[in-house]
Chains A and B, each alone.
Chain A
Amino acid sequence: MNPFSSGTRLRDMIRAIRACKTAAEERAVVRKECAAIRAAINENDQDYRHRNLAKLMFIHMLGYPTHFGQMECLKLIASAGFPEKRIGYLGLMLLLDERQEVLMLVTNSLKQDLNHSNQYIVGLALCALGNICSAEMARDLAPEVERLLQFRDPNVRKKAALCSIRIIKKVPDLAENFINPASSLLKEKHHGVLITGVQLCMDLCKVSSEALEYVRKKCIEGLVKTLRDIANSPYSPEYDIAGITDPFLHIRLLKLLRILGQGDADASDCMNDILAQVATKTESKKNAGNAILYECVETIMSIEDNGGLRVLAINILGRFLSNRDNNIRYVALNMLMKAIVVDAQAVQRHRATILECVKDSDASIRKRALELVYLLVNESNVKPLTKELIEYLEVSDQEFKGDLTAKICSLVEKFSPEKIWYIDQMLKVLSEAGNFVKDEVWHALIVVISNASDLHGYTVRALYRAFQTSTEQESLVRVAVWCIGEYGDMLVNNVGMLDIEEPITVTESDTVDAVEVAIKRHTLDLTTKAMALIALLKLSSRFPSCSERIKDIIVQNKRSLMLELQQRSIEFNCILQKHQNIRSALLERMPVLDEATFSGRRAGSLHTAISTSTGAPHNLQNGIAKPAAAPIADLLDLSSDDAAAPSSSGGDFLMDLLGVDLSPASAPSGTSQPPKAGTDVLLDLLSIGTSPPAQSSSSASDILSSSQDNKAPLANLNGLASLSSLPANATSPASPVPMMDLLDGLGPIPQKHEENGPAYPSLVAYESSSLRMTFNFSKQPGNPQMTLIQATFTNLSPNVYNDFLFQAAVPKFLQLHLDPASSNTLPASGNGSITQNLKVTNSQQGKEP
């Protein structure tokens, strides 16, 4: 068998691997081969080294580790024959990278090969050096490579030139040595040497300013002449591509001229003619011609200004834009983005074509075009451009809608000349693509609406109309519902009609209908429904005639599975039923949100907003995981939770103004008022925290009742304090109120707090005309399961209670321990009190009920 033949066995191995049907089979074959190769390496097998390395390279390409073969490369490179060196160098380039120390060992072989008599071996060495040498190797071998730049064979010279590029990139200090030889390469006739020589000069000029100066002074005329010659040269079969002689050389020369002309007026002057010639004479039917034109345009735009040339360049780009080839259009859009910096006017002329590109079928082109349009917008053309973009929004496809919506919104915000136009455009966007609109955007819209007080009527009517048709656009529904809630009376009474509006009759019940739709529709998410509930509440104050109906709707949500809705509906119901006197004050029109502060905060918290706001719909969970709310969301009471928004401090008046508390008269501080905290404390105390209030109210009663039966709390309450001598009128009146009083006396239940302060305010647990019980709570630090209650009893009747006994019962998961009371006799009329300590231990502290 021929020892140099890697043929048959390599083929067989490849065939065997390809025949494997599963990954496991392939692994088995590869493992076997690797074992054989490793054995051969250990035995220092000369004959099949060549073939083994080829096999190793194939295995490497499949993705398996092959580091054991690295030394084989070195041995092959050190052999005398050409075939071994060839495959050895190939293996070196494939299996190693410059960071490996093994590479250093090759330096000596490389040095010898660079001086070899066989020019092909010199070529191999140059190739390997140029592809993977490290900085040390570069330093060591630079003199050899420099010498080879003047070798007799042009093929070696061109390889040496490219190798030098890597050397000067790795060791920029050596650049000076290469300046002279490199510039002499520019005078050559051989195309390969010219191309590589030009490239070397380019990299030299980038690395060393000396080189730049030198080349500029000495070589520009020569380069211009070369370019002219090649542009005018007749047909040459060897270099012809698509009718142009050596487009690669054209392009390299143009690139080098660009570097030389940049920042230097004289140099730029020299090249104007040839640039004009190339720009006008080059055929642009095939890709090669277009590549040259592209390079030419780049050069024209980068060198010192020549008006005529620039116009020529931008016209070429305009032609590119209408080319049917996607690549050309992409490239043109790219270039135009750079050109806009230089000459915005000229680019504006092509606005129409660019707009067409926004509607292109290719996604990368659409993206580029959109970015370009964004750069083109200014105050004068914002209206027509936005109009076009919004029209396109209706037909664009889903992936693009997000980008497009974001750009339109930001355009509208930046450039809107007047508020009414802004509102109109935003309405259109919301109707069309509300689901893609980010939260900050519609928040900003609401801020603007609230500031444009003369447009309130117009806005709410427009929203009402839009709402009829586009209820699936979430953001639109939210904004509409908010506005209807705020300005419902304007809607019904047609307040502030503008001339351009058509008359519209909306009755009060129509508005309630609209908001009801928002609540009932199952595709809308938690935030929207929550906003709808508040809107209903506002409407109940604005339209007292609809109060009953509104109350019914609200009551329906008391059993909602979502904690937020249930909580709100119970609270609102409370307000409707019991607190009519404060209702109108509570539901006054919102004070105008200060735009300046809003945009300032928004800019500051934009970072947080971006990281925390989610566009995705909120999950239906029982209030356990609250949606991550951007601080701005809290602004409009859109998140149901958490007075502790990430970046807010107590002094954020905007936050609290609209924020978590429903309390009127703008409580400036974020702290809750004691009664509310009380209920919450009670909840937390029993650690039934996450259960809905309805349940907790029954648990609260449990602590005072002996049964868990929800139905008859009153009777139990009555049976509670067994008073040995009851005055006749001491029996609690059998009114249905006490249970509710327990909680009502504490005020509306606040939003659920995840955290509680360590101090719990005291609670009036029971109060009637004859008796008052007050509970003081505390928890020992480190023992959250146990709560200490100090009960204080005060006699409000004129009779003395003797043998006063207090009993309590708790549900099964709690343990109760009663300490003895301070006394058995309760003096009359509040002259004294009895205290008793209770200890309640929650065995399910922190767990879900």
Chain B
Amino acid sequence: MIHFVLLISRQGKVRLTKWYSTYTQKERTKVIRELSGVILTRGPKLCNFVEWRGFKVVYKRYASLYFCMCIDQDDNELEILEIIHHYVEILDRYFGSVCELDLIFNFHKAYYILDEILIAGELQESSKKTVARLIAAQDSLVETAKEQASSISNIIAQATK
């Protein structure tokens, strides 16, 4: 299973973290710090797998962001590379040419998308179309709720004038 997902920028800033195994807040900070150190210093031509604390960490760099996933020893590293790419492509389709800034200002949306791809550290859906459809459906629910609320508050505002 995937134990955690980490998105870090080239300068070591954390853009997204998702933990599927139990780590306390302190442990999480420590892990992030350690892994940032290991991964950010690796050269560009090296392979994308790092052995760390008895686990394997698969990472891939997209522009200025490193996508890292920590897996068990007996998991398939090449498949995890595919899962990372799967996630990036979905993000790309959703935001339209996604860049790091999109993920900073819309981090909650990045999380929602990740939650449609992975649960409990395992892959949930292999079709990008389905994931996009689900996210769109939920977004429209939010939009509808917004409209309803604004129309109610308008009514209240007018009523209490």
Interface residues of A (CB under 8 A from B): 2-5, 11, 14, 18, 54, 57-58, 61-63, 65, 81-83, 86-87, 90, 93-94, 97-99, 120, 126-127, 130-131, 155, 158-159, 162-163, 165-166, 191-192, 195-196, 199, 238-239, 241, 246-249, 251-252, 255, 287-288, 290-291, 294-295, 298, 326-331, 361-365
CB distance from B57 to the nearest CB of A (A): 12
B64 interface hit (Cβ, 8 Å): no
Interface residues of B (CB under 8 A from A): 14-20, 22-25, 29, 45-51, 76-79, 81-83, 86, 104-105, 107-108, 111-112, 115, 119-120, 122-130, 134, 137-138, 141-142, 145-146, 149-150, 153
Give the complex CA separation of A82 and B147 in angstroms.
Answer: 13
Which single member of A120, A196, A328, A361 contacts B137 (CB below 8 Å)?
A120
Q: Tell me whether B79 and A97 are in contact (CB under 8 A).
A: no
Nearest A residue (CB) for B48: A327
Give the complex CA separation of A196 and B111 in angstroms.
Answer: 20
Give the complex CA separation of A672 and B80 in angstroms.
Answer: 67
26 contacts between A and B (CB under 8 A): A2-B149, A11-B105, A14-B104, A57-B107, A61-B14, A63-B14, A82-B138, A90-B111, A97-B24, A98-B22, A127-B119, A163-B119, A195-B123, A195-B125, A239-B126, A248-B82, A252-B123, A287-B78, A290-B78, A291-B81, A295-B76, A298-B76, A327-B49, A331-B77, A363-B46, A364-B50
Give the complex CA separation of A512 and B115 in angstroms.
Answer: 77
Q: Tell me whether A166 and B45 are in contact (CB under 8 A).
A: no
* 5 nearest A-B pairs in the assembled complex, by CB-CB distance: A291-B78, A326-B47, A162-B119, A248-B126, A192-B125
Chain B residue contacts of A82, Cβ below 8 A: 138, 141-142, 145
Nearest B residue (CB) for A120: B138
Give the complex CA separation of A246 and B153 in angstroms.
Answer: 48
Chain B residue contacts of A90, Cβ below 8 A: 108, 111-112, 115
Chain A residue contacts of B24, Cβ below 8 A: 97, 99
* Extra pairs beyond A2-B149, A83-B142, A196-B122 (11, CB < 8 Å): A5-B146, A61-B14, A61-B15, A82-B138, A94-B111, A131-B119, A162-B122, A191-B125, A326-B45, A361-B45, A363-B46
CB distance from A2 to the nearest CB of B (A): 5
Q: Tell me whether A365 and B47 are in contact (CB under 8 A).
A: yes
CB distance from A402 to the nearest CB of B (A): 18
Q: Tell me whether B105 and A130 are in contact (CB under 8 A).
A: no
Chain B residue contacts of A241, Cβ below 8 A: 82, 86
Chain B residue contacts of A239, Cβ below 8 A: 126-127
Contact of A326 with B46 at beta-carbon distance under 8 Å, contacts A61-B107, A120-B137 already known? yes
Chain A residue contacts of B51, Cβ below 8 A: 364
Nearest B residue (CB) for A255: B76
Nearest B residue (CB) for A247: B82
Give the complex CA separation of A158 and B122 in angstroms.
Answer: 11
Chain B residue contacts of A94, Cβ below 8 A: 111
Nearest B residue (CB) for A15: B105
CB distance from A161 to the nearest CB of B (A): 9
Which single member of B108, B122, B128 contacts A199 (CB below 8 Å)?
B122
CB distance from B138 to the nearest CB of A (A): 5
Nearest A residue (CB) for B143: A83
Chain A residue contacts of B126, Cβ below 8 A: 191-192, 195, 239, 246, 248-249
Chain B residue contacts of A195, Cβ below 8 A: 123-126
Q: Tell me whether B146 and A4 are in contact (CB under 8 A).
A: yes
Q: Tell me whether A291 and B145 are in contact (CB under 8 A).
A: no
Chain B residue contacts of A98, Cβ below 8 A: 22
Give the complex CA separation of A54 and B47 in angstroms.
Answer: 36
Give the complex CA separation of A4 and B147 in angstroms.
Answer: 10
Chain A residue contacts of B79, Cβ below 8 A: 247-248, 251, 291, 295
Which single member of A4, A81, A158 contacts B124 (CB below 8 Å)?
A158
Chain B residue contacts of A5, Cβ below 8 A: 146
CB distance from B89 to the nearest CB of A (A): 9
CB distance from B65 to the nearest CB of A (A): 14
Contact of A127 with B78 at beta-carbon distance under 8 Å, contacts A90-B108, A238-B127 already known? no
Chain B residue contacts of A54, Cβ below 8 A: 108
Which single member of B18, B45, B124 contacts A159 (CB below 8 Å)?
B124
Give the complex CA separation of A195 and B20 in angstroms.
Answer: 19
Chain B residue contacts of A246, Cβ below 8 A: 126
Contact of A130 with B119 at beta-carbon distance under 8 Å, contacts A90-B112, A291-B76 already known? yes
CB distance from A575 to the nearest CB of B (A): 55
Q: Tell me whether A83 and B76 are in contact (CB under 8 A).
A: no
CB distance from A394 to the nearest CB of B (A): 23
CB distance from B31 to the nearest CB of A (A): 13
Chain B residue contacts of A251, Cβ below 8 A: 76, 79
Nearest B residue (CB) for A53: B108
Give the complex CA separation of A249 and B125 in angstroms.
Answer: 10
Which single member of A4, A159, A328 contacts B145 (CB below 8 Å)?
A4
Chain A residue contacts of B108, Cβ below 8 A: 54, 57, 87, 90
Which single member of A97, A298, A330 contacts B25 (CB below 8 Å)?
A97
Q: Tell me whether A158 and B125 are in contact (CB under 8 A).
A: yes
Q: Tell me whether A327 and B123 are in contact (CB under 8 A).
A: no
Q: Tell me whether B82 and A291 are in contact (CB under 8 A).
A: yes
Give the complex CA separation of A265 and B44 in angstroms.
Answer: 45
Q: Tell me whether B120 and A330 are in contact (CB under 8 A).
A: no
Q: Tell me whether A18 and B104 are in contact (CB under 8 A).
A: yes
CB distance from B152 to the nearest CB of A (A): 10
Give the complex CA separation of A58 and B49 in angstroms.
Answer: 29
Q: Tell me whether B125 and A331 are in contact (CB under 8 A).
A: no
Contact of A130 with B111 at beta-carbon distance under 8 Å, contacts A98-B22, A192-B130, A195-B126 already known? no
Chain B residue contacts of A288, Cβ below 8 A: 82
Chain A residue contacts of B104, Cβ below 8 A: 14, 18
CB distance from B6 to the nearest CB of A (A): 11
Q: Tell me whether B112 and A97 are in contact (CB under 8 A).
A: no
Chain A residue contacts of B25, Cβ below 8 A: 65, 97
Nearest A residue (CB) for B58: A327
Give the complex CA separation of A779 and B14 in angstroms.
Answer: 67
Give the complex CA separation of A195 and B126 in angstroms.
Answer: 8
Which of A58, A363, A364 has the most B CB atoms < 10 Å from its CB? A364
Q: Tell me whether B142 and A330 are in contact (CB under 8 A).
A: no
Chain A residue contacts of B141, Cβ below 8 A: 82-83, 120
Give the complex CA separation of A97 and B19 in angstroms.
Answer: 9
Chain B residue contacts of A120, Cβ below 8 A: 137-138, 141
Chain B residue contacts of A294, Cβ below 8 A: 76, 78
Q: Tell me whether A63 and B107 are in contact (CB under 8 A).
A: no
CB distance from B92 to the nearest CB of A (A): 15
Q: Tell me whether A192 and B78 are in contact (CB under 8 A).
A: no
CB distance from A321 to the nearest CB of B (A): 13
Q: Tell me whether B127 and A191 are in contact (CB under 8 A).
A: yes
Q: Tell me whether B149 and A3 are in contact (CB under 8 A).
A: yes
Q: Tell me whether A165 and B120 are in contact (CB under 8 A).
A: yes
Give the complex CA separation of A90 and B18 in angstroms.
Answer: 11
Q: Tell me whether B122 and A97 are in contact (CB under 8 A).
A: no
Give the complex CA separation of A62 and B32 in angstroms.
Answer: 12
Nearest B residue (CB) for A126: B119
Give the complex CA separation of A713 and B17 in angstroms.
Answer: 80
Q: Tell me whether A327 and B125 are in contact (CB under 8 A).
A: no
Q: Tell me whether A196 and B76 are in contact (CB under 8 A).
A: no
Which of B86, B115, B129 has the most A CB atoms < 10 Å from its CB? B115
Give the complex CA separation of A2 and B152 in angstroms.
Answer: 10
Chain A residue contacts of B82, Cβ below 8 A: 241, 247-248, 287-288, 291
Nearest A residue (CB) for B129: A238
Contact of A131 with B78 at beta-carbon distance under 8 Å, contacts A2-B146, A3-B153, A57-B107 already known? no
Give the complex CA separation of A287 and B124 in angstroms.
Answer: 20
Give the complex CA separation of A365 and B138 in angstroms.
Answer: 45
CB distance from B17 to the nearest CB of A (A): 7
CB distance from B83 to the nearest CB of A (A): 8
Q: Tell me whether A86 and B107 are in contact (CB under 8 A).
A: no
Q: Tell me whether A130 and B120 are in contact (CB under 8 A).
A: yes
Chain B residue contacts of A331, Cβ below 8 A: 49, 77-78
Give the complex CA separation of A162 and B19 in angstroms.
Answer: 15
Q: Tell me whether B120 and A2 are in contact (CB under 8 A).
A: no
Which of B16, B29, B79, B112 has the most A CB atoms < 10 Å from its CB? B79
